[in-house]
Amino acid sequence: KFLNSSDGSLEAGTSKREKRNISDTCPHYDSENCINCGLCSLVCPHAVVRPFLLDENEALDAPDTLASKLMDAKIKDCNLKYTIGISYPDCTGCSLCSNICPGKKGKKALTMVDKDQITRDEYVNSNYLFNEVTEKRVMTTDTVKGSQFRTPKFEFSGACSGCGETPYLKLLTQLFGDNLVIANATGCSSIYGASNPSSPYSVPWANSLFEDNAEFGYGMRIADDALKNRIVTLINDNIDKVKKSEAKIYKAYAADINIETADKLYNIVDNTKIDELKSLKSFIKPKSIWTVGGDGWAYDIGYGGLDHVIANNENVNILVLDTEVYSNTGGQSSKSSQAGSIAKFTAGGKTGAKKDLAQIAMAYGHVYVAQIAMGANPAQTIKAMKEAESYDGPSLIIAYAPCQAHGIKGGLANHQAEQKRAIDCGYFNLLRYDPRLEEQGKNPLQLDSKTPNFDGFKDYLLGENRFSQLLKVNPEHAEQLMAKCQADAQKRRARLEKMAQ
């Protein structure tokens, strides 16, 4: 069975075959209340809810029962129809889509219903949309709406219902698509990322160890650079062998490797007379290499490697899914955990402050750094990811990701709103530090969250069990620990505001 995988590679994108049907509830779509915003798709942790664009033939071939749910897409110079598709067997019933939906005049386009209420026609409609309708690249990925028209290459994972991490990963695949390569640290993201034979990724993905993931991704960058250099050497040494009509394409690639020059070379390389170049075809295009993991890896076990990688000026992107706990061990305290938070090994509330990884990285001066929280500002999330990817150097994105270990009141169905509350009260800050701005004589640090209202800080803490339990398990020091957590947050904000002046 494993002879065809003796090199360790396995088939990708297999999770779509599982159809686990684990939830009794799922969203029901009412097109009359839809404003085509794409937020439902953005926040869906399992890529179950998606917007679809249908051309004239696809609309004509669609099941008759789907026709009433098609509306004008209202995209300039495009005659397309729009609708929302839902993969009912893959839904986990988290209700994030319904909660985020703005709807029209107080009526939502997505409402949670018992799955028994979903008709056979709706299943037929869903199958048609997911299997017969092609992707339309008619908008850029700079906006929420535009990004959600890209087919995700991370879908139907085994993550918890309402997971706060997976929406970031899904968005990453929508923004960078087939150019994406992921080095993944062991943890939650490796368990739902590759519990073989179920794989939610349709892009190259690999997992090494918990402690060396930054070096693992760094090695991928070095390897890809070496292969690119080999391609350029082959071109320069054999330019006399290529067709005169194509010589300009080869020379342009050798002079500057970018998406445009790579696409042109890629399209003609099958007929090249440089034999070795044919075998390197899959390495011609630029790779967007991302190192992904949780805070247990980035702040603790793998921090030494992460620091080593960002200290070097290689083009490696790092995405930290910051749940402030070792989520995969059931909620174990990490250096990212805040003062006063309860987790394994800090059962009476953590006494130390959260490690400020962003400040450490910014101190280097040459590292692109961002802190994002999708529920607070989805546009800033997209902007930071795209800026990090375009930066020719190391980049670090810290993504605030609520987890079931937080014990959010109302459950993970409220995690997008909880992210906004975290920003509003100053618990977490949105920022982007771009060294390119300093080269232009500007301040590289941009604070993307408004001055917080710290008066709401304690109420925010009491909205999560990891803090509210302090009043029961450690009543003598509960107020003191929560006050420290707030003081730490105020210090972080003051440092940032001083830097941003």
pLDDT tens digits for 314-328? Answer: 999 999 999 999 998
* Among 109, 128, 27, residue whose Cα is nearest residue 71: 109
Q: Which structure tokens are listed for 423? A: 């920003």
Q: Would you say the pTM of this structure is higher than 0.85?
A: yes
DSSP letter at 264?
A: H
pLDDT at 421: 97
pLDDT at 422: 98
Residue 95 gets the label, from left (phi > 0), alpha (psi -120 to 50) or beta, of left
Confidence at 7, pLDDT banded by 50, 70, 90: confident
Give, to the nearest 10 degrees, the angle between helix 213-237 and helix 303-311: 30
Confidence at 219, pLDDT banded by 50, 70, 90: very high
Residues in contact with 239: Cβ distance below 8 Å, sequence separation at least 6, in sequence order = 247, 250, 251
Across the range 71-82, mean pLDDT stands at 93
Beta strand spans in 373-494 (E): 395-400, 431-433, 445-447
pLDDT tens digits for 446-495? Answer: 999 999 999 999 999 999 999 999 999 999 999 999 999 999 999 999 99
366: burial class by Cβ within 10 Å (0-12, 13-18, 19+)? middle
Q: How high is the mean pLDDT of the chain?
A: 95
